[in-house]
Amino acid sequence: MSAVTTADLLALDRAAQDLLFRAARTANTFTDEPVTDAQVAAIHDLIRYGPTAYNGQPLRVLLLRSPESRARLLPYVSSSNRAKTASAPLVAVLAADLDFHERLPELYPHRPQARDWLADRPSRAEQARFSATLQIGYLLVGVRAAGLAAGPMAGFDAAAVTREFFPDGRHEALLLLNLGHPGPDAWERRLPRLSSEEVVWTL
């Protein structure tokens, strides 16, 4: 099946397909054009409608805007990610609220007992990580929906970042995210993707 035929099977128009997926790339350099709080709020206002288990919405986004907060992060970032993390207009720590169940009586009001189903901390933490990671997927799409480039980075010391920025023990850092407009030489070449024949199976 050609790419054109495949793209035409979707309800989403081609320009939006390109903006969110086909032409979108992980940026490695950024211009110094700022990313505003209003843009971040607009992105969240869009992606907050994505589904999560129990409607728990455990994702928390910590924006590191001050030079001091950025300096606290850098020692925990892998050497290959440090330069871009230092120069991105905005860096966010994406984290899970491991005690998200406390809000369930309000967020999942038709089953107020759901909070009690999640009383066990280890299994609740697993649920929190899972739903927050789903939300990070929505968030990366949302950053692109705002016309911005996203630079997700898994290469960092997550336990150390959790201790540094979430000493309450309630939150856990999952991913770092650079946000901005792509700068010079922002892109590596597009890496190969698996075909649906390789990853979609039928029984």
- Taking CB under 8 A as the rule, does residue 112 contact a copy of itself? no
- Taking CB under 8 A as the rule, does residue 44 contact a copy of itself? yes
CA 37, distance to chain mean position in Å, is 16
Q: What is the rounded CA–CA span in Å between residue 84 and residue 88?
A: 6
Contacts 24+ apart (CB under 8 A), 43-52: 43/139, 43/142, 43/143, 43/145, 43/146, 44/139, 44/142, 46/142, 46/145, 47/135, 47/138, 47/139, 47/141, 47/142, 50/134, 50/135, 50/137, 50/138, 51/134, 52/131, 52/134, 52/135
Q: Which of 28, 29, 30, 59 binds a copy of itself (CB under 8 A)?
A: 59
- Taking CB under 8 A as the rule, does residue 43 contact a copy of itself? yes
Report, in Å, the least distance between residue 133 CB and a copy of itself: 4
Report, in Å, the least distance between residue 32 CB and a copy of itself: 19
- Taking CB under 8 A as the rule, does residue 115 contact a copy of itself? no
Residue 9 structure tokens:
């099977």
User: Hey, which residues between 13 and 32 contact a copy of itself (CB under 8 A)?
Assistant: 13, 15-17, 19-22, 24, 26
Report, in Å, the least distance between residue 158 CB and a copy of itself: 10
Q: Compute, in degrees rounded to 10, the torsion defined by CA atoms 83, 87, 89, 93.
A: 30
Q: Which of 110, 119, 168, 184 binds a copy of itself (CB under 8 A)?
A: 110
CB atoms within 10 A of CB 113: 9
Q: What is the rounded CA–CA span in Å between residue 201 and residue 90?
A: 40
Report, in Å, the least distance between residue 118 CB and a copy of itself: 12
- Taking CB under 8 A as the rule, does residue 167 contact a copy of itself? no
- Taking CB under 8 A as the rule, does residue 192 contact a copy of itself? yes
User: Hey, which residues between 122 and 151 contact a copy of itself (CB under 8 A)?
Assistant: 127, 129-130, 133-138, 140-142, 145-147, 150
- Taking CB under 8 A as the rule, does residue 193 contact a copy of itself? yes
Site string for a copy of itself, 77-96 (x = CB under 8 A): --------------------
